[in-house]
Amino acid sequence: MEKQFLIAGFGGQGVLLIGTLIAKAAMLQGYEVSWMPSYGPEMRGGEANCAVVVSDEPIGSPLVSEPPVLVAMNKPSLVKFMPAMAPGGTLLYNASLIEGVELRQDINAIPVHCNEIAERLQSSRVANMVMLGAVQAATDVVTGETLSRTLQDWLGEEKAGMLQINEKAIEAGRELVKG
């Protein structure tokens, strides 16, 4: 089994964190993992993306040139990376920020209203966690339990107060896909 992801958006949207949490959760489950970030020199607002490969065998290359799973948090990322997607792939896109783009007919496109759901949860900062839940539900790359444990470890004691809102956002993303 090998699953490849390309997660892209603007710096500050948490795209690298989505990839990090997928990679860490997959390692907890005993998988081989590669995580390769790419970002511009800007602190926020520049292009940011990461490639994640999860496998039950050693990984030959961390590059994801024809992503079977593309996560696009903004329109420029969708426009840039959708043409390279593998036919039959899965596209999860932030429908809060992306509209007016003609989607390919040979892929499974899943709109995720990340920002609206985050606002409903009264925390605009968890839009990426909504997407993380949607990715987990759409791909079953890791279990929900492992993802929750990974989030707890990542937040640590200093940020433990943020655990509940982040878990609610992940669950909202899952429900959107499973529902």
Residue ranges in the chain assigned as alpha helix (H):
15-28, 75-81, 114-120, 127-139, 144-155, 163-178
CA distances from 80 to 83, 140, 144 (A): 7, 26, 30
| pLDDT score recorded for residue 29 | 97
Q: For the chain, give every domain's residue range.
A: 2-178
pTM for this model (two decimals): 0.93
C-alpha to C-alpha distance for 118 and 126, rounded to whole angstroms: 6
| pLDDT score recorded for residue 43 | 60
Going by pLDDT thresholds of 50, 70 and 90, the confidence category of residue 169 is very high
Q: Tens digit of pLDDT for each residue in 33-66?
A: 999 999 876 666 788 999 999 999 999 888 999 9
| pLDDT score recorded for residue 12 | 85
Q: Tens digit of pLDDT for each residue in 4-37?
A: 999 999 988 999 999 999 999 999 999 999 999 9
- On the question of pLDDT at 94 being above 80, the answer is yes
List the beta bridge partners of residue 38.
49
Residue ranges in 5-73 assigned as alpha helix (H):
15-28
- On the question of pLDDT at 131 being above 90, the answer is yes
Query: Tokens 């039950």 map to which residue?
Result: 56
CA 168 to chain centre: 16
Tell which CATH architecture fits domain 2-178: 3-Layer(aba) Sandwich (3.40)
